[in-house]
Amino acid sequence: MSEPSQLGKYNITSIIGRGAMGIVYKAHDSFIDRTVALKTIKQDCLDAEDAEQVLLRFKTEAQAAGRLSHPNIVTVYEYGEENNTAFIAMEYVEGRTLREAIANNERFPLEAVVDIIKGILDGLAYAHEKGVIHRDIKPDNIILLKNGRIKITDFGIARIESSNLTQHGDVLGTPSYMSPEQCTGTPVDNRSDIFSTGAILYHLLTGEKAFPGDNMTAIMHRVIHDTPIIPSELNLSIYPDLDQCVFKSLAKNPGQRFQNAEEFSTALTESLETGKNSFVAAASSPTEETVLSRSSQTDTHRRKGMSAKALLSVLSRVKPVYTGAAALFLLLVVITIWMTMKNPTSPEEQTILAPAVIKKEKAMKEASEIAEQDPQDRLTISITSKPSGSRKIINDSYQETVRGIRPRTD
- 150 to each of 113, 117, 139, 201, 364, how far by Cα in Å? 11, 9, 11, 14, 86
136 is catalytic: yes
User: Cβ(90)–Cβ(77) under 8 Å?
Assistant: yes
Q: In what order do the strands lie in the sheet with 10-18?
A: 6-7, 10-18, 23-29, 34-42, 85-91, 76-82
> Rounded CA gap, 385 and 392, in Å?
12
Give the CA angle between residues 381, 384, 388 to the nearest 5°.
150
- 235 to each of 211, 272, 316, 357, how far by Cα in Å? 17, 15, 10, 56
CB within 8 Å of 179: residues ≥ 6 apart: 173, 188, 191, 192, 195, 196, 223, 254
CB within 8 Å of 242: residues ≥ 6 apart: 205, 231, 232, 268, 271, 272, 275
Q: Which of 136, 154, 193, 241 is catalytic?
A: 136
- The string of DSSP letters for 189-224 reads -HHHHHHHHHHHHHHHHHSS-SS--SSHHHHHHHHH
Q: Which residues are identified as catalytic?
A: 136
